[in-house]
Structure formats: C-alpha cells, structure tokens
C-alpha cells in the first residue's frame, strides 16, 4: 500500500466512510507497523464524529453497546496491542460514535483485535482506566421536590424518598406523617397521611386518599388537584382538599378562589372562606374548617424540632462509632477552627498521620442547621490524610451531597501511592459507586494489575443537591465487596484475589497520584478526562472501620443520621 493510499484510508476512517474490505486492509497495515497505528489514532477527527452523534443519537447507542462488548472481551484477553483499546477508549472518552458508519469502526476494532490476538503485549502498558468502562447517566424527568418530611412512614408498596429528593411522575404512598411537596410549576402541597397521591405533572396531581393543603402563588395559577369524582383548578389561592376514608370529597378555600367540578357536573367557582362536599355531580355547601387541614407554618416548626432531635441522636451515634475499637478514621466535621485548615480524627485510638489537611475546600452548611460540612468546587479542592497498616476488612462510609458528576471518575477516596491492596473508591459518570483494588506491585498499568471494578447504582440526576449516605464494605477472607446507598444494598461481587486492603496516603475528593513516583508513573498514560477526578459537592461525615459492618448496622446508622 502506498503512502497516498494509506493516507486516504486514514481520512476515510475519520470520516466514517470505510468499507469492510478497506477496514481489513487498514488493519493489515497497522498490524505490521507501529507508526501506522500511531498515525491512524492521531488522525481520528473527534469533532466531526461528535457532530455525527448529534445527527443520529440512535446510532450512537447501538455503537456504544457493541464497542463496550468488544472492550469487555479485550479486557478478558491479556494479549492485545495498544491500538485497538486506544481507539475504543478515545471514542468512548471523547464521546464520539459513528452512527452512519458504526460498522466501519467496529470492523477496524474487531479486525485489529483478530489480527493482533496472537501478538504479545507491548512493553508499554495500555493507557486505559482501570476503574472499568463508564456508563452514561440516564436522565429522569422530575415534576416536584420533596421539601419536608415529618414523621413519615412509607407504605410497603411505595419507594421511600429522602428530603430534598426530586420526584418524577408516579405514586407516593404513606402510612402516616406529613409531606411538603413543591411542584416545579410553583405550587406547594402539604399532604397528611395516610395518603396516596399521584404526581402527574409540574402543575397537576391526583389525590386518591388523604388530606392536603395547597398553596398556589400567582406564577403557579392554574394548578390542578384531582381526586375520585372531583376536579379542583386553582385561580391563585390556598385551599384544602380531603378524600377517602369513607368520606365524600371536600374542598375548603382559605384564600382566593378555585373552580370545583364533580363527576359530569359543571364547574363552580368557589371563593375564600367557602367549602363544599362533592356528591357525584352535586356540590353541597358546608362550613369551612381550616383547622382540619395541615398548616405550612406548623409543619416547618415540627420539621425544625425533628431535625434538632435527629442531630442530637446522630451525635450520640457517631460518638459510639468513634469509640469502636475498629475505628480507623472518624471525621465529624464538627469542632474545628476554620483558620486551622485541619480535621481531627475522632476515633478513640487515632494514628498521628490520620489528622486531615484541608486543601482548597471551604466550610459550609451540613445536613442540619448548625452542622458543618466541607464543600468541594475547584479542581484543586481535596482532603488529605493517611491511614497506616494493612486491613483484612474495611467499611467505608460517607455522608455526601453530590452536586454534579463532571468526570468519568469522581473521587471519594483515592491513593497517592500504589502497591498490592491499594483501593479506588469512586463515583463514575453514570452514577455507579465503585471499588477497585490493585493486586500487584508491578509499576505498570492494565486490567491484569487490578481487581474489579465492583459497582452499584448510587446517584442519578434526581439526587443532585441532596444528602446521600454511601457505604462500601470489603472482606479479604472471601474478596466480597458490597455497596450500599442510603442503607440499602445496591451492588455485590467479589475480587478474584483476596488481598488485605492498604490505604496509606489518601485523598478524599481528588487524586494525589502525580505520576512522579515509579509506582504511579502509569498515571501519566491516562487520558485527560480520566486523570481529572475531582469531586463536586459536600461531605459532612467520613468513617473508616477495619471490620465489615452488617447490613443492619449500616441501615441503622443511616436512619439515625438522615437529615
């Protein structure tokens, strides 16, 4: 093949117009020449491919799925060349796919892997993220926010929601307690249990049973609250609505006015200090009774009281955890002077080097009023500390508020130095909580130097801006890794090698491995969006134990510490 012919094929590869035969020919040339491999990789035009993605998102998804499968096969096979993984990693990390020419890209990748399957690995290590392939976050559309929750016991057939959670369309069911729901359209609804309410849209809901008060400012005018056989449309007002429990639906207007319609009846305008009982198509006047409905001001007071009570309960709980003989690290983010820029390890027998150094991150509000937290915003923000020794078991726990996941891998705990047992504890771009362990002292990088990743779903776009309790346990006796989110198990698997965990010099919220030491020089081979791993959000509790906490203990600690 002449240089001109090779250049033409490279250009066609970047454009996505290669035929399968041309892809095979290009693979044959690259098999014989490392320089050809380099030229082909360098000529891939990511910007034009990104534009192709935007024109055909369906093709992107198909190409991603097949490429991920090829990558998984590549990781399983220890004999590959540098080029095929590099092309696929560049494709995935740079967010380009070839919708119209996915077959050509896959032909190149598959052809190269076939031709190189019997070739020994190069001396230089493959530049890819050992944490495993990332997934894209699947966005869920929210219609409301759960602003407050006081004394709520969720029904068995309903998922529970934490304060601050974004609410999609669908049912909320509570046995008891009171919810304050703020719709994205501006209306505020306070629902008292037992109740069943269906979220329909940012300006509409259906109350199957229960008692509710609605507060609708002018921008949310037109908010619709329906129930069995009744339809209420707000005209800029506050009103009460009760239905179920063997009673006929009632609508009570406290301020402004609404329209009320029974089944197959004509709408009737109802003004302030008026109320009706709905019986079929008929509306019967009744006395207005504001005291029968939940009150926003009182709910806020109850929420503040309950929050203070939980704060005090947490202080007792965290003190007991700090006194646990297995406690290696216990940062409460309480009691430190801001100007000192250090954190005290509250564990009963702390190692001297476990005193934390705050870099860049700033003090801010935590889970409750009066509780402190650290906020991580810039690329340099981090918390540095060291935990000496090797450990046959670990429990890693953190209360965090994730504000975004900008990187392929977002640091929870990462080491600065690498040897057998070194851990990566991260959140990846798609929201999975991950643990990966180094299983060799070899200075290079590659899948055969690592165990994992073990992943579990932890964060979605609906969780941004609210407090989450993330926990991971590791048992070297059997290699078992278990992930928990808000006290509920979300992932479980085992490492192949059952090595003791070694923490050493660690960072929360960033990655201190700079590539200047022999054991972490491989970091420089990572792609830029793999090297950048800063956490964006807040933390107000970090605990590390040298034992595996039971699921019951984790759930209890979560319940005691929930805001």
Per-residue model confidence as pLDDT tens digits over 10-32:
777 765 566 767 777 777 777 66
Q: How many CB atoms lie under 10 A from the CB of residue 297?
A: 7
Coil, helix or strand at residue 300: helix
How big is the chain, counted in residues? 563
Q: Which of 407, 431, 423 is CA-nearest to residue 526?
A: 407
Angle value at C-alpha 181, between 256 and 464, nearest 5 degrees: 140
Sign for the CA dihedral angle at 13, 16, 21, 23 comes to: positive
How far is Cα 167 from Cα 291, in angstroms, rounded to an integer?
28
Q: Which of 180, 450, 399 is CA-nearest to residue 304?
A: 180
* This prediction's pTM: 0.70
Q: How far is CA 551 from CA 79, 547, 561, in A?
A: 40, 13, 15
In 370-420, at which residue ranges do the beta strands (DSSP E only) sit? 372-376, 382-391, 393-404, 409-415
Q: What's residue 137's pLDDT?
A: 62
The secondary structure of residue 162, as a DSSP letter, is -
Q: What's residue 309's pLDDT?
A: 82
Q: What's residue 337's pLDDT?
A: 82
Contacts of 270 (CB under 8 A, 6+ apart): 251, 253, 257, 258, 259, 260, 276
φ, ψ (nearest 5 deg) of residue 397: -135, 140
User: Do 449 and 497 form a contact (C-beta atoms < 8 A)?
Assistant: no
Coil, helix or strand at residue 209: strand
CATH (one of 3.30.70.370, 2.60.120.1440, 1.10.10.1100, 3.30.365.10) for 169-294: 2.60.120.1440
φ, ψ (nearest 5 deg) of residue 194: -70, 140
Q: What's residue 135's pLDDT?
A: 61
How far is Cα 185 from Cα 387, in angstroms, rounded to an integer?
49
CA atoms within 13 A on the CB side of 553: 15
Tokens (6 digits) for 291: 């005291």
Domains 169-294 and 304-561 share a fold: yes
How far is Cα 408 from Cα 506, in angstroms, rounded to an integer?
20
Angle value at C-alpha 542, between 537 and 546, nearest 5 degrees: 145
Q: What's residue 49's pLDDT?
A: 39
Sign for the CA dihedral angle at 129, 133, 139, 144 comes to: negative
Q: What's residue 150's pLDDT?
A: 86
Q: Tens digits of per-residue pLDDT, 552-562?
A: 999 999 988 88
Q: What's residue 528's pLDDT?
A: 73
User: Do 479 and 446 form a contact (C-beta atoms < 8 A)?
Assistant: no
pLDDT tens series, the chain, 563 aa: 777 777 777 777 765 566 767 777 777 777 667 667 766 665 543 333 333 334 334 444 334 333 433 433 333 333 333 334 444 444 444 333 333 344 444 444 444 444 433 333 333 333 445 555 566 666 678 899 998 888 889 998 778 888 888 899 999 999 999 999 999 999 999 999 899 999 999 999 999 999 999 999 988 899 999 999 899 999 888 999 999 877 889 999 999 999 999 877 788 999 999 999 998 888 999 999 999 998 888 877 777 777 788 888 899 999 999 999 999 999 999 988 878 899 999 999 999 899 999 999 999 999 888 899 999 999 999 999 999 999 999 999 999 999 999 998 999 999 999 999 999 999 998 899 999 999 998 888 877 889 989 999 999 888 898 999 999 999 999 999 999 999 999 999 999 999 999 999 999 999 999 888 999 888 887 777 788 999 999 999 999 999 999 999 999 999 888 88
- 388: preceding bond cis by omega (within 30 degrees): no
Residue indicated by tokens 């960033």: 510
Domain parsing of the chain, residue ranges: 3-116, 169-294, 304-561
φ, ψ (nearest 5 deg) of residue 119: -95, 135
Q: What's residue 38's pLDDT?
A: 64
Burial class (CB in 10 A: 0-12, 13-18, 19+), 518: exposed
CATH (one of 2.60.40.420, 2.60.120.200, 3.20.20.410, 2.60.40.1530) for 304-561: 2.60.120.200
- 453: preceding bond cis by omega (within 30 degrees): yes
Tokens (6 digits) for 293: 């409905």
């Amino acid at each position: 093949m002449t240089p001109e012919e090779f250049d033409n094929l490279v250009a066609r590869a970047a454009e996505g117009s290669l035929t399968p035969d041309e892809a095979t020919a290009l693979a044959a040339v690259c098999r014989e020449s490392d320089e050809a491999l380099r030229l082909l990789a360098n000529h891939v035009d990511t910007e034009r491919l990104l534009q192709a993605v935007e024109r055909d998102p369906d093709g992107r998804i198909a190409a991603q799925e097949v490429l991920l499968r090829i990558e998984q096969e590549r990781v399983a096979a220890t004999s590959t060349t540098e080029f095929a993984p590099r092309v696929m990693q560049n494709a995935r990390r740079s967010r380009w796919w070839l919708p119209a020419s996915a077959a050509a890209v896959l032909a190149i990748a598959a052809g190269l892997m076939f031709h190189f399957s019997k070739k020994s690995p190069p001396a230089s290590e493959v530049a890819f993220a050992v944490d495993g392939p990332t997934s894209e976050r699947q966005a869920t559309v929210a219609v409301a926010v759960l602003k407050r929750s006081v004394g709520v016991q969720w029904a068995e057939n309903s998922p529970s929601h934490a304060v601050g959670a974004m609410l999609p369309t669908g049912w909320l069911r509570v046995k008891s307690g009171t919810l304050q729901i703020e719709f994205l359209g501006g209306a505020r609804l306070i629902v008292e249990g037992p109740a069943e309410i269906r979220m329909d849209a940012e300006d509409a809901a259906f109350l199957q049973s229960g008692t509710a008060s609605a507060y609708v400012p002018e921008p949310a005018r037109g908010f619709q609250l329906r129930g069995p056989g009744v339809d209420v449309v707000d005209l800029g007002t506050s009103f009460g609505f009760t239905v179920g429990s063997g009673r006929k639906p009632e609508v009570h207007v406290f301020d402004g006015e609404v329209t009320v319609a029974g089944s197959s009846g004509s709408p009737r305008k109802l003004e302030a200090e008026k109320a009706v009982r709905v019986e079929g198509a008929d509306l019967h006047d009744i006395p207005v009774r504001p005291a029968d409905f939940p009150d926003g001001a009182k709910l806020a007071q109850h929420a503040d009281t309950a929050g203070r009570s939980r704060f005090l309960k947490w202080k007792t709980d965290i003190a007991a955890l700090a006194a646990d003989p297995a406690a290696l690290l216990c940062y409460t983010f309480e009691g430190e002077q801001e100007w000192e820029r250090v954190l005290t390890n509250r564990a009963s027998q702390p190692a001297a080097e476990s005193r934390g150094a705050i870099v860049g991150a700033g003090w801010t509000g935590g889970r409750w009023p009066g509780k402190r937290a650290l906020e991580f915003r810039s690329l340099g923000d981090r918390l540095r500390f060291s935990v000496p020794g090797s450990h046959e078991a670990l429990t890693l726990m953190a209360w965090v508020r994730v504000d975004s996941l900008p990187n392929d891998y977002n640091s929870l705990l990462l080491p600065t130095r690498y040897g057998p047992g070194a851990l990566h504890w991260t959140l990846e771009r798609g929201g999975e909580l991950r643990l990966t362990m180094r299983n060799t002292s070899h200075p290079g990088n590659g899948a055969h130097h690592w165990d994992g990743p073990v992943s579990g779903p932890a964060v979605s776009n609906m969780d941004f801006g609210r407090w989450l309790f993330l926990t991971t346990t590791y048992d070297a006796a059997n290699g078992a890794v278990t992930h928990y989110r808000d006290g509920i198990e979300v992932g479980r698997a085992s490492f192949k090698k059952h090595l003791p965990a070694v923490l050493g010099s660690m960072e929360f919220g960033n990655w201190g491995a700079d590539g200047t030491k022999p054991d972490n020089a491989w970091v420089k081979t990572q792609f830029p969006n793999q090297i950048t791993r800063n956490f964006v959000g807040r933390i107000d509790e970090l605990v590390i134990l040298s034992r595996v906490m039971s699921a019951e203990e984790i759930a209890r600690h979560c319940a005691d510490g929930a805001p």
